[in-house]
Amino acid sequence: MALGIVERPAHVTPDKVVDFDVWAPPGGTEDIHAAWEALHAAPPVAWTPHNGGHWIVTRTDPMLEVYEDYTRFSSRVLLVPKEVGESFDMAPTTYDPPQNRPFRKVMQDAFAPKVVKGYEAKIRAIVSGLIDAFKHDGHCQFREQFAEPMPIILLMELMDLPMADVPLFKHWAEQITRQLGEMTVQEAVDAFYIYLGPIVAERMGGGGEDLISRIANADMGGRPITHDEALKTVSQVLQAGVDTVAQAATFAFVALEKYPEVRRTLAANPGRIPDFIEEMLRRYPLVMNVREIIQDTELGGAVLKAGEMIVMPNCLAGTDDTKNERPLEFDMDRKSRAHLSFGAGAHRCVGAPLARLELQVIFEEWFRRIPEFKRAAGEKVVYQAGVTPHAGEFRLEWDPAIVS
């Protein structure tokens, strides 16, 4: 990907400058979260010359200010460098209020907690099927055999799309969230649209119950959704739901290796799984969000100019020591937690109830069958940065005699 390094503009004071590439944080392949946490030593709103030059918010309060004020911080461009972000136009993520509202209503209806609860049996069947296929082997390639297929199989089922095409969506989604360089963001977005365009068209006006049909026949506050709007919305749901849960599950199993006492607690007491998920969301969040500054303004002591870009690494909110005590400690017994794992404001994740349910079922079904497991000796996890960072493949092992 293009790594444009630019000169510091005059309005950026030298004390705000950090040498930090959000697509390749220093030390990130070793420990992606530690690499980001180094920015807590920087000002609350810092500036980096990488990726065309942009701001990075390192503390919760200014992050919330950005999320909540779309009159100064627009979602029009959601990636850095800005020129790359211009080609990502899915909906409603790139629309500011009020334009985004009818889209959000459609998605909030589709992912409301009571609707999502209705997907539980399907999720449980997918998770159980995947684990049952390898549990007697005594080992698995965690990402390939479990974490990656799980959420995408679910979305393909909910959208009534052919399972054979799972690798296509996975590939396109990764090109956007990690910019691997095999396709440009524009090519990946186009690939979604070329594939889904005829399917959305075919389901418009039909009586289907699947998620694409529901979006393609949605009411947009008194008028039908257009083909273009439905296509951008369906693509956004796939884009947002494919990678995030897979990464959350992978980071969770890496954490279980790091904290064996937590693994033992969950195996003995599955009632603690919700606390585990919430602490994971606080301690090891995934997503980095971006906004375009559309008004000259000040934030956290910095002077920001219209047209500049600002990045919010959500992980820096969960580990902000002004919001959480002992923030780097993994503690399922916390009385309270502050985090921005699902963002905030007009675009807060609509898939959060589904994500939480998927994770809940993953841990319940895994611990029910395989209570004891460890990473294979010598297997090192290599991380990759991105909008959603990636913990690389590893092999998990267990005694096949203990599985049930």
Give the whole-angstrom CA distance, residue 300 versus residue 220: 38
Task: Looking at residues 58 to 87 of the shown chain, list those that interact with ligand HEM (rule: CB under 6 A).
Answer: 75, 78
Contacts of 112 (CB under 8 A, 6+ apart): 353
- CB 250, min distance to ligand HEM, A: 11
Q: Please tell me whether residue 350 binds ligand HEM under the rule CB under 6 A.
A: yes
Measured from each CB, the residue nearest to ligand HEM is 351
Q: Please tell me whether residue 341 binds ligand HEM under the rule CB under 6 A.
A: yes
Give the Cβ contact number of residue 335 at 10 Å: 6
Q: In what order do the strands lie in the sheet with 374-375?
A: 139-141, 395-397, 374-375
Stretch that binds ligand HEM, among 15-23, 169-177, 241-249, 322-330 (CB under 6 A): 241-249
**Cβ closer to ligand HEM: 81 or 343?**
343
Residue 399 sits at φ, ψ, to 5 deg, of -85, 115
Q: Answer yes or no: are the C-beta atoms of 40 and 88 closer than 8 Å.
A: no
- CB 350, min distance to ligand HEM, A: 5
Q: Please tell me whether residue 390 binds ligand HEM under the rule CB under 6 A.
A: no
User: Which amino acid belongs to residue 99?
Assistant: Q
Give the whole-angstrom CA distance, residue 325 versus residue 323: 7
Contacts of 223 (CB under 8 A, 6+ apart): none
Of the CA atoms within 13 Å of residue 5, those in its CB half-sphere come to: 5
Give the whole-angstrom CA distance, residue 134 versus residue 141: 10
Give the whole-angstrom CA distance, residue 326 versus residue 213: 47
State how beta strands 54-57 and 395-397 pair. unpaired
**Cβ closer to ligand HEM: 145 or 388?**
388
Q: Please tell me whether residue 237 binds ligand HEM under the rule CB under 6 A.
A: yes
Give the whole-angstrom CA distance, residue 276 versus residue 269: 11
Q: Please tell me whether residue 51 binds ligand HEM under the rule CB under 6 A.
A: no
Nearest CA among 51, 279, 149, 301 for reference residue 141: 149
Of the CA atoms within 13 Å of residue 189, those in its CB half-sphere come to: 15
Among 48, 60, 74, 93, binds ligand HEM (CB under 6 A): 93
**Cβ closer to ligand HEM: 12 or 110?**
110
Q: At what angle do helices 149-159 and 120-134 cross, to 10 degrees?
A: 140
Q: Answer yes or no: are the C-beta atoms of 288 and 311 closer than 8 Å.
A: yes
- CB 156, min distance to ligand HEM, A: 12
Stretch that binds ligand HEM, among 168-176, 220-228, 234-242, 261-269 (CB under 6 A): 234-242
Q: Please tell me whether residue 236 binds ligand HEM under the rule CB under 6 A.
A: yes
- CB 381, min distance to ligand HEM, A: 18
Q: Please tell me whether residue 342 binds ligand HEM under the rule CB under 6 A.
A: yes
- CB 12, min distance to ligand HEM, A: 24
User: Which amino acid belongs to residue 355?
Assistant: A
Binding mask 131-150 for ligand HEM (x = CB under 6 A): --------------------
The site for ligand HEM, by CB under 6 A, has a size of 27
Q: Please tell me whether residue 246 binds ligand HEM under the rule CB under 6 A.
A: no
- CB 289, min distance to ligand HEM, A: 4
Task: Looking at residues 254 to 313 of the shown chain, list those that interact with ligand HEM (rule: CB under 6 A).
Answer: 286-287, 289
Give the whole-angstrom CA distance, residue 285 versus residue 135: 28
- CB 9, min distance to ligand HEM, A: 25
**Cβ closer to ligand HEM: 66 or 403?**
66
Stretch that binds ligand HEM, among 9-17, 19-27, 92-100, 199-207 (CB under 6 A): 92-100
Q: Please tell me whether residue 170 binds ligand HEM under the rule CB under 6 A.
A: no
Quote the tokens at residue 225: 């959704």
Q: Which residues form the interface with ligand HEM (CB under 6 A)?
A: 75, 78, 92-93, 100, 104, 107, 236-237, 240-241, 244-245, 248, 286-287, 289, 314, 341-343, 347, 349-351, 354-355
